[in-house]
Amino acid sequence: MARPDKAAAVADLADEFRSSNAVVLTEYRGLTVKQLTDLRRSLGGNASYAVVKNTLTKIAAKEAGIDGLDQYLTGPSAIAFVKGDPVEAAKGLRDFAKANPVLVVKGGLLEGAPLSSEEITKLADLESREVLLSKLAGAMKASLQNAVSLFAAPLAQTARVVEALRQKAEADPSILAGGAGTPAPAAEEPAAEAAAETAEAPAEAAADAPAEADAPAAEQNEG
């Protein structure tokens, strides 16, 4: 490969590294052209798969500020550049490798952190982003429904109390004036009689007192 071509290839690879949130290095030895085409399809629409030269890839990774890939750049290498959900791409690689054991997943990077082949397999076992978002939306919807029920119950109880008060006020309007209802007549009469008796008793005592005090004076005048 001529020097200008090498420079262009390095620049393209460096751009792929910078724009990808995950990369997976594989060994494709023994795969046919048709199998490579099928592998690219299995990765989904958010990932690309390119056969690379190890030396140029090391230079491109260094230019992109990426470390930790040199150990995987041995033998026939191809890289999956992932620009979307890494779980989807990992599932595609896992499933394709099961059907085509000649594909070997070496390792990779996720958001700049190194991944071993075992960790990529574990990543493939996770649920996809769409499934997780769907479950999250379902959980949020259930929480909102629970909150509505929680707030609706006290409101319903308050409505019943207000209706009961309204019915009681219609039966006894004095409640609206701040009273506790119209008192029963039988309760008023004993109180009035007790007040009258209390008022009369001092008057009688005052009328009798002078008569008793004048008796001795009358007896002295007669003597």
Q: With left for phi above 0 and alpha for psi between -120 and 50, is residue 181 left, alpha or beta?
A: left
Pair (91, 163) in one structural domain? no
pLDDT tens across 126-152, in order?
Answer: 864 554 445 455 555 555 555 555 555
Structural domain includes residue 190: no
**93: three-class secondary structure by DSSP:** helix
- Contacts within 8 Å (CB) and 24+ apart, 94-102: 94/120, 94/121, 94/124, 95/42, 96/38, 96/39, 96/42, 100/31, 100/35, 100/39, 102/28, 102/29, 102/30, 102/31
Is residue 99 domain-shared with residue 14, that is, in the same domain?
yes
- Rounded Cα distance between 101 and 99, Å, is 6
Statement to judge: residues 141 and 98 lie in one domain: no
| pTM, to two decimals | 0.56
Q: Are residues 149 and 98 in the same domain?
A: no
Q: Is residue 57 part of a domain?
A: yes
Whether 94 and 113 map to the same domain: the answer is yes
Q: Please tell me the least confidently modeled range out of 100-104, 143-147, 198-202.
A: 198-202
Cβ neighbours, 10 Å, residue 16: 19
Q: What is the pLDDT of residue 84?
A: 86
How do residues 25-67 score in pLDDT, each as one tens digit?
999 999 999 999 999 999 988 899 999 999 999 999 999 999 8
Domain that holds residue 64: 3-126
Asked if the structure places residue 138 within a domain, the reply is: yes
Where is the domain boundary, 157, 177, 197?
177
Q: What percent of the chain has pLDDT over 70?
A: 58
Residue 223 belongs to some domain of the structure: no
Domain with residue 59: its CATH number is: 3.30.70.1730
